[in-house]
Structure 1
């Protein structure tokens, strides 16, 4: 059962206010695009500090995005703790991480004005 454990930690700095970044977490469409393999249910709304979800699907457990103000922006911390769902591919953690990195970097590009980027096409 040990190989079924999922433990993901990621940090990305975005030069934008926590409120602007938080708006993406409130966008159900964006959340569904980023995590189509999960069914997230909010368990703790932390306001400008982020969101914690219970998740089912390819990962069963909990997921969090914590927003930490830092200098002229925010560090976006992403955590996933749980285990691989019964029908999940063996590499679900790698797939989840790559999908998240593409999405958070597309968000970073859009919010920092580094060029045209739509979260949907970047996924």
Structure 2
């Protein structure tokens, strides 16, 4: 009887540990989709005018919302949603930024996507 009780306790503790790790992995993956930025540093890096900064903030806010929706979606839908969000963001940014600014923005965005592991 004692062995049965200890076996049940061991199985329950292992199950809880696996469930906790699964939840932690889900939280970490959702955090990877948070794309908030420091707009002052972005403005300095891209040498934005005030009008461009306002437009970039609006575009990026929409991009952040799209990425959070992708982070909360099912795993099989995420890649497509991320692709759509990136395409939409790049299209809008290209219309606001000069060619040099857009090239720098592409570098920054690519580094962010790679560092967060969203390019897989």
Confirm or deny a common fold (TM above 0.5): no
Q: TM-score scaled to structure 1, two decimals?
A: 0.39
Q: TM-score scaled to structure 2, two decimals?
A: 0.39
The structure carrying a bigger strand percent of its residues is 1
The structure carrying a bigger helix percent of its residues is 2
